Each structure stands twice: as C-alpha cells, then as structure tokens.
C-alpha cells in the first residue's frame, strides 16, 4: 500500500488533521510543530492527542511526520540562536513522546560563513544535548538544496553529522526530491545511481521518509522552489519511478507542493494511480 500524505495546517489539532487526511485519501500527514518561523507551541492538548491516536489506529494510519520550524538554525554563529534551536527542539521532542513512533524532521541549518565543518559540529552538539536513549521519536535530517550556506546538500555532510552523534540510532534522513535535484543529484536520469550513492555514504537503512516535490528549477540550481507534481523539472515519469522504486516504495511519502487541500487530494489520487501494488 502506498504510504502517502501531505503537509497540513496544525491549527485545529491532531484529530482535525487526521480527519482531513482521511478525507483526501491520505494515510499519514506532515505538520509544523509550531509556527514555521518559530515561537511558542500550542498548548499540549492530551484529549485531542488521545482522540487522534484512536482515530489513527481505526483508520490504519502510518506514522506522522512532525516538521520543526524551518527558521531554527542549529549551527548559527550566534550562541543565543543555537540555544533557541536546542530548546525548541527539546520541547518538540518532549511533546511528541505523547504520540509514540512519530518522525521528526528538521533542516540541519546554515553555517553562514563559518564553513560546513563548524556547522556540522554545532548541529551534532545540539543533537548530543537533546537526544535521549529511550525516546520513541526518530529524528530526521532533511536533504537540502544547498541554497546559501545550507548544511546537508551532500550526503557526505549528513553522514558527518550522524557520525558525530552518540545516540545516532535515533537519527535518520528525510529525502526531499526537490532539494536533492536542486542540490545536483540527478534523480530523473540516474535514480539508481543516486540511491546507490546514498546507500554507500549514509546507508539506505537511515532513509525513513521522502518529501515528494517537483522543482521549479533545473538540476543543480540550489534554489529550493517546490512545484506541483509533474509540472516541474522532475516530471511525472520520474515520480512514478520514485514511488515504485524497491528502495523507496515502502517509505512514507509527504507532499509539500504549492497546493490547497483539494490540490493535494488530486495529487494523492494521481500518485496512487501510478503505484504498482504487488
């Protein structure tokens, strides 16, 4: 069965997201843990979480993906900003323990002139400060487009972070199709080779989720502008190969395309029609 969902607004809580996901044919979803620009989290509503958990169990949902605010920068040169990233992520992870087995995705950060080595060290330091051996959430580093000084454009950089984290059994990777294409990995013409490279450098066992986005820009553009599925430089044929690839087909796929909820419903239906059941 295709595990497919999209990014949903968290403003009405977990049960509302679950119902919306089911209505549009999804069996998982992604959401921001708080305002994408950071700031305070909503009050923790344990009744809502309990209702969501029974709804998800009844509907056979797959684990959901919580996305950290994208402005967090774990490798900022400013110690205050690094501390803010660390506290925010620690608080997100504490809250997510109420929904066991959740995935938590974050953008590694931007090193801003400090260089990737220092960036990688700060990111690993943060993870070493907050990852707890018994936690049930898997933390995912997202592959980045390489816009500005983003850390995580190359598989080598992600590997370097993972290697420096003590509790790295709690770490995985979320592969964003727009980002890797913008980052220079040719998933349109060389999908097998890219996945072999991922396996050699990071290990496919670390790959836990895929962000399915087409790209407004060509291979290697380092831009990070998402496009609707089939309307960008990646194209529908490549998405059909991606969702059916033996190394990917059992992973959860999350759409982050420029769409309203009805647009997501259409993309989910389209992707389901392209998925080859075994």
48/142 with CB nearer Fe ion: 142
211 CB contacts (<8 Å, ≥6 apart)? 142, 174, 175, 176, 177, 178, 179, 253, 254, 255, 256
148: left (phi over 0), alpha (psi -120 to 50) or beta: left
- In the bound state, the residue with its beta carbon closest to Zn ion is 224
86/226 with CB nearer Zn ion: 226
Q: Pick from Zn ion, Fe ion, none: which does 157 bind, CB < 5 to 8 A by kind?
A: none
95/211 with CB nearer Zn ion: 211
Which one is catalytic: 150, 176, 182, 214?
Answer: 176
Residue 64: DSSP 8-state = P
CA separation for the pair 198, 249 (Å, rounded): 16
256 is catalytic: yes
Beta strands in 11-121, from DSSP E residues, in sequence order: 30-32, 65-67, 103-106, 109-110
Pick from 64, 81, 63: nearest CA to 72:
81
3/211 with CB nearer Fe ion: 211
142 is catalytic: yes
Among 7, 34, 82, 211, binds Fe ion (CB under 5 A): 211
CA separation for the pair 262, 174 (Å, rounded): 25
Exposure string over 180-202, b if 16+ CB within 10 A, otherwise e: bbbbebebbeebeebbeebeeeb
Closest separation in Å from C-beta 50 to Fe ion: 28
Q: Are 155 and 193 in contact (CB under 8 A)?
A: no
Q: Pick from Fe ion, Zn ion, none: which does 224 bind, CB < 5 to 8 A by kind?
A: Zn ion
Q: Pick from Zn ion, Fe ion, none: which does 211 bind, CB < 5 to 8 A by kind?
A: Fe ion
Footprint (CB under 5 A) of Zn ion, residues 221-240: 224
Q: Are 48 and 69 in contact (CB under 8 A)?
A: no
Closest separation in Å from C-beta 134 to Zn ion: 32
Closest separation in Å from C-beta 185 to Zn ion: 14
19 CB contacts (<8 Å, ≥6 apart)? 55
Footprint (CB under 5 A) of Fe ion, residues 146-205: 176
86/211 with CB nearer Fe ion: 211
Footprint (CB under 5 A) of Zn ion, residues 147-206: none
Footprint (CB under 5 A) of Fe ion, residues 13-52: none
Q: Pick from Fe ion, Zn ion, none: which does 159 bind, CB < 5 to 8 A by kind?
A: none
CA separation for the pair 128, 165 (Å, rounded): 6
- C-alpha pair distances (Å), 150 with each of 109, 161, 223, 241: 6, 13, 11, 28
222 is catalytic: no
Q: Pick from Zn ion, Fe ion, none: which does 95 bind, CB < 5 to 8 A by kind?
A: none
Residue 214 in contact with Zn ion, rule: CB under 5 A: no
Region from 114-122, 138-146, 150-158, 264-272 binding Fe ion, contact rule CB under 5 A: 138-146
- Active site members: 37, 67, 70, 107, 142, 176, 179, 211, 224, 226, 256
Residues that bind Zn ion (CB under 5 A): 224
């Amino acid at each position: 069965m295709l595990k497919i969902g999209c990014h949903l607004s968290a403003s009405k809580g977990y049960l509302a997201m679950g119902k919306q996901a089911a209505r549009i044919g999804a069996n998982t979803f992604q959401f921001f843990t708080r305002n994408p620009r950071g700031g305070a989290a909503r009050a923790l509503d344990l009744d809502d979480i309990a209702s969501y958990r029974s709804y998800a169990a009844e509907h056979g949902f797959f684990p959901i993906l919580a996305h950290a605010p994208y402005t967090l920068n774990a490798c900022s040169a400013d110690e205050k900003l690094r501390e803010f990233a660390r506290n925010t992520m620690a608080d997100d992870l504490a809250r997510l323990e109420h929904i066991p087995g959740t995935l938590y995705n974050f953008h590694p950060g931007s090193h801003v002139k400090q260089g990737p080595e220092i960036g990688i060290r700060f990111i690993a330091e943060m993870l070493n400060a907050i990852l707890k051996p018994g936690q049930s959430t898997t933390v995912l580093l997202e592959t980045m487009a390489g816009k500005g000084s983003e850390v995580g454009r190359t598989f080598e950089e992600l590997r370097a972070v993972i290697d420096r984290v003590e509790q790295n059994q709690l770490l995985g990777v979320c592969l964003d199709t727009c980002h890797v294409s913008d980052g220079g990995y040719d998933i349109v013409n060389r999908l097998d080779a890219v996945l072999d490279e991922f396996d050699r450098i990071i290990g496919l066992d670390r790959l836990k989720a895929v962000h399915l986005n087409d790209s407004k820009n060509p291979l290697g553009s380092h831009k990070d502008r998402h496009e609707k599925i089939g309307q960008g430089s990646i194209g529908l044929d490549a998405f059909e190969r991606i969702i059916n690839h033996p190394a990917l087909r059992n992973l959860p796929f999350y759409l982050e395309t420029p769409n309203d909820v009805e647009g997501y419903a259409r993309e989910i239906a389209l992707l389901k029609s392209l998925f080859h059941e075994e």
